[in-house]
Structure 1
Amino acid sequence: MELNESAMIDPDAVGHDSVYVPVWQATPFGRLSSGLFWEAHRACLRHRRLARVWMWLHYLLGIAGVTLAAVSGFGGLTEVLGVTQAATIAILSAVASGLATFLKTDEKRREHLVLAAAWDNLRDDISVVYETRPPGPSDADPASWREVVDALQAIARALRASNAEHGAKPPPWPSAGPEPA
């Protein structure tokens, strides 16, 4: 029994050409791989959205700060609007620029882009590990599948803690015979 048909995900939804979705077997390894795959997929999309939000916030605050600073720097502003309104514009300019700096919007945008790429890599790694599993009966998992899942889960745990620099790689499947010399 298979959990889904192999499919391609809508490219517009993920930001690149296509995402390969393996045909998951209804075995423990298949179900765990499927769960990790979809978690990685959703996390990748979430971090891409958050990166866009921080980017828009960065530009919005930056443009507002620069525009208000330019308006407040106009020499005849106090004559046109009055002292109170001119002071308010200058204060708003400082607040917008201060928020952009204090919130570190560009840094947070970069962090979310790095995490999105790491989750995307995990999703791809899960597909590769699943598709390159050693052959066996269709209703059984390959030997040592638990070690592979444990390694994939360790990567997912690091990414859940926002640690994109974990350095862990999914393990290769153990070879069935002796290592070549």
Structure 2
Amino acid sequence: MSLTTFNPLTALAIAPLVSSTCTFWYAFDQNYFLSIFTTHPDDKFEKAIPDYFTRFFTAGLPRVLGILGTTCLSVAGNYVYRYDSLVASQSLKWYLAGAALAVSHLSFTPLVLPHIQRLQGKNGICHIPKYVLSEWLYWHNIRSYTVDLAAWVCFAVAVGSNVAA
């Protein structure tokens, strides 16, 4: 593809799908990298959980918020710059549903925040880190395979509707 055929409105149309793919992929990676601590039988791993999780979470939070922000801003951009096209292709409802689901990722905060606080503990001390991390992963996976996956599906349908139109 040459630069002369690049269409910024096409890029805008697929941006929410790309960013929601990043959200879901990152969630999948988080599950993989953190579940190693919960499945390994060695207690040495358990002692490393609070410090590792604190560093992991501190680095990951801006990424998650950035990706979710990109999703929402790109949907807003589609709404502003492509409204007529979205209505004509009947994809507007899919973009809006995907955005609502992406934002609802944050609605899980009350369910995961207590686990995050316990894992980070006072002075890095968590008395049962493997158990607390398992609880966090439980809610993380529910969030990932419900709202994050559903948002991705909505954006896939929205982009597919645009391509077909």
TM-score after normalising by structure 2: 0.44
- Comparing both chains, which one has the higher relative contact order based on Cα–Cα distances under 8 Å and sequence gaps of 6 or more? 2
Structure with more helix by fraction = 2
Larger radius of gyration: 1
TM-score after normalising by structure 1: 0.41
